[in-house]
Amino acid sequence: MSAGTRGFPLQEYRTRVARAQTAMAAAGLDALLLTSEPDVRYFSGFLTRFWESPTRPWFLVVPASGDPVAVIPSIGASLMAQTWIQDIRSWRSPDLEDDGVSLLADTLREVAGERARIGLPMGAETSLRMPLADFKRLEAALSPVALVGDAGILRALRIVKSPAEIAKIETACRIADRAFARVGEIAGAGARLDEVARRFQMLCLEEGADWVPYLACPCGPDGYFDVISPADGHVFAPGDVLMLDTGLVHDGYFCDFDRNFSISAPSRDVRAAHRRLLEAVDAAMEIARPGVSAADLFHAMDAIVTGGQGGSDTGRLGHGLGTQLTEWPSLIPQDRTRIEAGMVLTLEPGIEVSPGRILVHEENIVIEADGARFLSTRADPEILCLERSA
């Protein structure tokens, strides 16, 4: 059930740090300051679900040379000591007077110098995971040290996955594949949507997921009105289309794909729409390789699902994924990111069946040297049909 080796060899982290340091030198940064779960984990391997608690800030400092320094609440010091990080500085948090700010400021000055430029991720799809008032205190305490953007370094590093990372995402996809293959055991006419949502999460766990951070399950006659609804007490009726979209985790890496199910026989429109979605996926797969752009993948799909109108209100037709459910790039006309080998992407075309009624299909792929490969098992163009559940 728990396929695959856990964690990464030390060399993986050393390579990540070395790449960051090369990029930092080019950008004139004396250190990186990281506050978010995926960024801290990327360089340290620190893996815990405790980030669900918003109480305490956690910091990792990547210096211009040498190994990262962890500045963290003492509640996490034992677990951090099991990673490769040697320099762990901790304080007893929460501290209502000074929740790590002084310790962090001292560490940054020591590591980066009195006139440093310190980079933080502050661009699209990032956020600063510490109280804003404490960030202002940190800025004041560090002056004249400057806290600036990270020049896109974290994005550039994390957007391309190593073979070991890809293997973890593929394991997550296989787990979801197996769970989707068993939906007939839990759903059918007469079943309740919220109960199916619970049972589907149980299937994901039974098939080997470590946890199931994300599930959306919109449902409606001949399509659904959005893709982010939580489950309610809706009782399935013939003609309903159910979408299950899961982001489950294996060893800290996500899959993110969905499957659509027709309760009893689908209408002709639903059947056609579903086929069209798979056509769109195939069109993107045909061109997916290093050198095309994120926008190219968008247009390949959009030509099929809207006839090239430029998208819909869901806003994009796919995205990166990895240590987060969604990551850069975005498959939108604006995003000219050059696709590279090692990127893991979702292809996520949506189509309107009738006004206000949509279907969305999603697969996960990895870009390879001369093309792309499905990590999820590509769905059949014929929408799956569920009869009354056992």
Enumerate residues 6+ apart whose C-beta is below 8 A from 135: 128, 147
**Choices 22-30, 89-97, 178-186, 270-278 (CB under 8 A): range interacting with a second copy:** 89-97
Among 10, 79, 237, 265, binds a second copy (CB under 8 A): 79
CA distances for 8 relative to 13, 39, 47, angstroms: 8, 15, 12
284: its two tokens: 């993107």
Among 20, 33, 118, 215, binds a second copy (CB under 8 A): 215
Q: Compare residues 212 and 379 and give the one whose CB is closer to a second copy.
A: 212
258 sits near a second copy (criterion: CB under 8 A): no
What is the footprint of a second copy within residues 135-154 (CB under 8 A)?
Answer: 136, 149
Residue 90, beta-bridge partner list: 72
Does a cis peptide bond (omega within 30 degrees of 0) precede residue 94?
yes
Among 118, 138, 151, 216, binds a second copy (CB under 8 A): 216
165 sits near a second copy (criterion: CB under 8 A): no
**Choices 74-82, 153-161, 280-288, 371-379 (CB under 8 A): range interacting with a second copy:** 74-82
* Smallest distance, a second copy to C-beta of residue 152, A: 11
What is the footprint of a second copy within residues 303-362 (CB under 8 A)?
Answer: 311, 313-316, 319, 324-327, 330, 332, 334-335
Residue 70, beta-bridge partner list: 60, 88
What letter does residue 75 receive in the DSSP assignment?
A: G
Q: Are 280 and 318 in contact (CB under 8 A)?
A: no
Q: Compare residues 100 and 188 and give the one whose CB is closer to a second copy.
A: 100
Q: Compare residues 94 and 190 and give the one whose CB is closer to a second copy.
A: 94
86 sits near a second copy (criterion: CB under 8 A): no
Enumerate residues 6+ apart whose C-beta is below 8 A from 52: none
Torsion from C-alpha of 290, 317, 227, 53, nearest 10 degrees: 40
Enumerate residues 6+ apart whose C-beta is below 8 A from 34: 40, 42, 43, 59, 60, 61, 62, 120, 121, 154
* Smallest distance, a second copy to C-beta of residue 268, A: 25
* Smallest distance, a second copy to C-beta of residue 370, A: 29
Among 144, 163, 233, 307, binds a second copy (CB under 8 A): 233
